Every structure is written in C-alpha cells, then in structure tokens.
Chains A and B, each alone.
Chain A
C-alpha cells in the first residue's frame, strides 16, 4: 500500500535563505514519525508546508496518493490532514466544547451532531469536565490537548503535531505520549515535531527523521538515530561527537 503521506525533495526558500532543503520522508497509516531537530532546524516550516500555510519552492507533497502542493490549508484539512500549532492557538472567546465543535463541523452541518462528536472527543482527551469553560482558562498542557482534540474532530487520517512536549512538565509529557499512542492505535498517522525531549522521541516514534539547518541529516528507528554521530554533533556540538 502506498504511504499515507509522501514528501519528496521538499524545499522552501525565503529570499536566498533555505529554511528547508531537499527533505524527503513518508508516513504510513497508524505510524508515528517524529521530526526532531534543534531550535531553528526547520520543523515548523515543514509543518507549514505540509498543511498548506506555505507553498514549497520545490518538491512534491503527496497525501493519500494525490499531489496536494497547490491546495489551500482548508482543502487539505477536509482531505484528512489535521494539525496543531507550536504556539497554541485556541479560539479564546469560545468554550472548550465550542472549540472542538468548530472542528467537528468539517464533517457535519448539524449543531447537535457536532456537539455530540465534540463531547465524545473531549472525553477521549480527558477535558470533558471543563467543556463549558472558556478555552482561555486552560493551562498550556490543557491547551495542547485542546489543539489535539480540535484537530481530531475533523476526523483526520494524519495529524501534524507541531511541538508536542515543549513547555510541559514530565507528568504532562507522559500524558501527551499516551494520547499520541492512542491515536496510532486508532489508525491515525502522526508527524510529531519534538525539540529535545528524548523520552518522547524514544517512546512514541516508530521512525525518526532529524533536521538540522533545514536539511535531513538522519532517518531511521529511534535507536539508530540517537546513536548517529551526525545527530550527536548537531545537538551537542562537534567536540563531544569526536570524544564519543
């Protein structure tokens, strides 16, 4: 079976500066692919390219067999591509339930159905007790869950999670990991951006790709990747890599 998402030679230049250059990878259904890389490596640019907020300078993005390069963000979302944002963006003036309902409207026109679906998803992510509070009352961990819930409500086949763990404490990170594994069990593919919490990378990823300065420097299973000298060099600097 063809991969759910196939990215080939993805390149984005802002003026003369390459934010992402020649990146290729693929994701299957029910698989968690982590994109790791230091701050500024180009992870968010990759997410923005796949979800349609940027258009690539070069390269091809194929989703469920279709080339989606020229589709607008909302068209990609309706085809089953969900995303969250690194800097969480809830609808602050709407209740938590309403936030998720807006997502559910991607698949229904009925308010009652959207509400039912949203409640179901809030139970799944563990926010049902706060359904009627304003989204702005949530902590960062809660907002990250809400982002996932809202994306889930659009019934995605693939979900792009820009930065799953930044700003979370260890308990919250564990809860987030559990949530991502559940998504995979439901057959939803995910691409998770992770800056440096290795616990996340090691426990949730089926495969890992590593970006540095916008280029793909390593790919493979979590174990292969963390032992890769190029990766160690990117994270810790040249000297440590030589001593290791």
Chain B
C-alpha cells in the first residue's frame, strides 16, 4: 500500500476506532440505546445507498430484506432452537435469492419497475407473515432469543458497530474501485453504460445482493435487540421509507452520507419526542421538507458538490491564466 492510500484510510480507521471505544466511556443505558439506533439506521441507510445511491435504483421495499433477516432468526433460533448465529447466517444467505428474484426480473426493464416490484415484494411478505399464523404467529408476533447474555447493552453495541463499520467500509472500498465507477455510470446513464461494455443488469444485481445481505443481518440484530418482532415492526413500509430517507438526507452516493443522515434523524426524533410529545412527527416532517428543499444532494452530498465545484473553478482559473500567458 502506498503512503497516499494509507493517508486516505487514516481518517475512516480513526473514526471506526472511536465508534468502537464509545461503550468503554459511555455507560448510560439510554444514550447507549440511542447510539445503537443510530448505528442500526446507519447500516440500513448504507445498505440502501449501495443500490439506491450509487447504482441509482430506488428501492421502497428494503424492509423485505430487513424483515427476512428478523423473521429467519426468530423462526430458527426461537421456534426451532437453533444457535442464533446460525439463524443470522441463514437470514443473510436467504436474502441473496430474494434479491436476485426481484433484480433479475426488474433490472432488465427500463422504467419504474424495480421501485414498484420492491414495494410489492415487501408488502407481499408483510401480508404473508400476517396471515400465516401457524408459522409466524401473525400479528401476535414472535419472541426472539437474546444474542448476548446479561443486561449490558455494550455487546449489542459492539456487534452492530462492527456491522456498520463493515458496511460503511464496503461502500468506501466500492467508491474507490471499478465497481463504484460502474455503479455510478449506470446511475448517470444506463444506455451509455451499456455501450462501453458494462453489464448493467449484472452490476445492478450485484449491488442489490450486497445491499440485501447487509439489510438482512441488521434485521436479525434488531429482532434480537428488541427481543420481540411482529410484521408491522419489521416488515412495514415506514421501515423501507426510513432507510431511503436516512440515505437521501445524508447524501445519496456518498460514503458517510447515511451515517450523517442516521445521526441527524435519530437524534432529532429523540429530542422532539421528549420536547414536543405528539407533535414530534409533525416537526420531523417539516425538517425533512426543509432538508429536501435546501439540501437537494443531502447534507454531505451538497457539501461535497460545493467543494468539487470550488476545486473545478480553481482549476479552470489556473487554466485561463495559462491561456492568457500563452496568448500574450
């Protein structure tokens, strides 16, 4: 690894270390819980961002993968008595065929088919889970075994922190490699991407699979952390929406955008719930509208665009000076 690459990786690694060190200092259960929620939404937003941000394929049904992970753990570890870790692994494995099922049908088509299919699949899964009472207990829900013994939340924190770091790290890696360039090209113009040799269906499928596996493991974690799930908690449309919102507010197609979005949204929702009681959803909505109006690229996205534009302007100015010197 060259020195520039090490320097490039230094800040993210430092950030990862700080995130992992938090429970050593912070012991308050309330704040640990808030941070766990921040990490859950960071991971989910990051998962959504790979396919929705980088590859530009909007999904409004990512709760399908999240819920699949949650229910797989609940059914295998809760009902069948499996080791929970095996249940988590199975959820991740099962998310792959589900992703490929949606992707290989809709990614061939041009148009809004993927977003509609994602919405439909999530809704179908929710309805099946509600109706198939003999297996899923329907709306009554299922108890989910704990992943870690004891009452401390720190192990949960560390687990989801590692998942979040892996997810963000994966995005960081993608952005710096051929895959990132290809996904961005697909988002910017699919026909042009095909004309220069990019298998657009294949790469969109790959993005969706990566995204689905991350969402599934987070779903399993969340189920165990809550210790109880029902369809309206893990398979409902608000879950899918929130994943997209976290990424969009933070900055679609940026590595740390979903983390920024998750931090802002979770903190805002905690703050407003304490301050404004029932009105907190109203304020949450106003905040969203303001963000979309004034920061169309998301917080981090808009910031990065400004920096890029300034750099380009500087480069252009230097170019112009050279041209003037040559002319004179």
**Nearest-neighbor residue (CB-CB) of B322 within chain A:** A129
* A131 CB, min distance to chain B CBs, angstroms: 9
Number of residues on chain A facing chain B (CB within 8 A): 37
| Contact A102 B316, beta carbon cutoff 8 Å | no
Q: How far is the CA of A93 from the CA of B177 in the complex (A)?
A: 17
Q: How far is the CA of A95 from the CA of B181 in the complex (A)?
A: 11
Check A93/B196 contact, CB under 8 A, given A114-B178, A133-B315: no
| Contact B197 A91, beta carbon cutoff 8 Å | no
Check A77/B197 contact, CB under 8 A, given A91-B184, A105-B181: yes
B83 CB–A CB distance under 8 Å: no
* B191 CB, min distance to chain A CBs, angstroms: 7
Chain A 39-56 interface 0/1 with B at a Cβ cutoff of 8 Å (1 = within) = 000000000000111000
Residues of B within 8 A of A134 (CB): 308, 312
Q: How far is the CA of A103 from the CA of B193 in the complex (A)?
A: 8
Residues of A within 8 A of B185 (CB): 91, 94, 102
Q: How far is the CA of A129 from the CA of B184 in the complex (A)?
A: 23
| Contact B195 A83, beta carbon cutoff 8 Å | yes
Chain A 70-114 interface 0/1 with B at a Cβ cutoff of 8 Å (1 = within) = 001110011000110100011111110010011101100101001
B256 CB–A CB distance under 8 Å: no
| Contact B188 A94, beta carbon cutoff 8 Å | yes
Check A154/B196 contact, CB under 8 A, given A102-B185, A129-B319: yes
Check A133/B312 contact, CB under 8 A, given A72-B194, A83-B195, A94-B185: yes
A153 CB–B CB distance under 8 Å: yes
| Contact A82 B196, beta carbon cutoff 8 Å | yes
* Candidate in B182, B194, B312 with the most chain A CB atoms within 10 angstroms: B194
A132 CB–B CB distance under 8 Å: yes
Q: List 13 A-B contacts (CB under 8 A).
A: A73-B194, A74-B199, A77-B196, A82-B196, A85-B192, A89-B189, A92-B188, A102-B184, A102-B185, A105-B178, A106-B198, A129-B319, A132-B311
* B residues in contact (CB < 8 Å) with A: 176-178, 181-182, 184-185, 188-189, 191-200, 308, 311-312, 315-316, 319
